[in-house]
């Protein structure tokens, strides 16, 4: 087993950076250049896993030998994948579809040990139910700009939490990175996180 104190995040997501730093890891950010096409032959959860894996593989070509983690989140409404909105109108459309309904959030990650070309993939799913949203509520939320970089056009860690009536599952999956599952995946890959040893990394 090897101590894990430093990792490369293949994403520009401030939320995932914050979560990894909460584990007192030193995090180097190298955003992936992988484009996320819609691939019809995959289910939404499979698509999240494909995107996460491809992001990690792309960054592997440009990184050193530190472990790499990439992630992807997709909102699944009755089997239809909702990614990030194209514009404000698309964000309002997505929120209208989710209003008063249950959907599933799939957050997948790929953890790569590039020293031995090993990769571990996991996708976690959580059910989310929205309150019934009025047109004004949707318009105000879209105007805030918060939905624009988030799958399904909302973020549960921000003002979007006020849209959510309940969740059934892991909160961090809805946030975009299933943190506890990442820690357990790290152990399976031969990495150990030691909070005490990592305590001085992030001030």
By annotation, the residues acting in catalysis are 72
**Rounded to the nearest 5°, which phi and psi values hold at 197?**
-70, -30
Q: Are the beta carbons of 50 and 81 closer than 8 angstroms? A: no
* 82 secondary structure, DSSP code: E
How many other CB atoms are there within 10 angstroms of residue 58's CB atom? Answer: 19
How many other CB atoms are there within 10 angstroms of residue 14's CB atom? Answer: 10
Residue (of 175, 156, 176, 153) closest to 165 by Cα position = 156
**3-state SS, residue 134:** coil
Strand partners, 7: 27
């Amino acid at each position: 087993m090897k101590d894990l104190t430093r990792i490369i995040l293949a994403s520009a997501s401030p939320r995932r950076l914050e979560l990894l730093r909460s584990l007192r890891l030193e995090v180097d950010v190298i955003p992936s250049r992988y484009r996320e096409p819609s691939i019809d032959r995959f289910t939404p959860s499979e698509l999240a896993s494909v995107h996460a894996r491809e992001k990690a593989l792309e960054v592997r070509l440009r990184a050193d030998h530190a472990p790499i983690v990439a992630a992807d989140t997709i909102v699944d409404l009755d089997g239809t994948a909702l990614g990030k909105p194209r514009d404000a109108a698309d964000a309002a459309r997505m929120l209208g579809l989710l209003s008063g309904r249950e959907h599933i959030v799939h957050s997948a990650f790929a953890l790569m040990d590039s020293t031995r070309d090993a990769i571990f993939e996991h996708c976690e799913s959580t059910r989310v139910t929205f309150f019934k949203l009025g047109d004004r509520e949707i318009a105000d939320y879209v105007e805030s700009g918060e939905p624009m970089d988030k799958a399904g056009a909302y973020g549960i860690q921000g003002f979007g939490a006020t849209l959510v009536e309940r969740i059934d599952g892991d909160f961090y999956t809805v946030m975009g990175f299933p943190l506890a599952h990442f820690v357990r995946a790290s152990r399976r890959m031969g990495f150990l996180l030691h909070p005490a040893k990592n305590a001085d990394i992030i001030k």
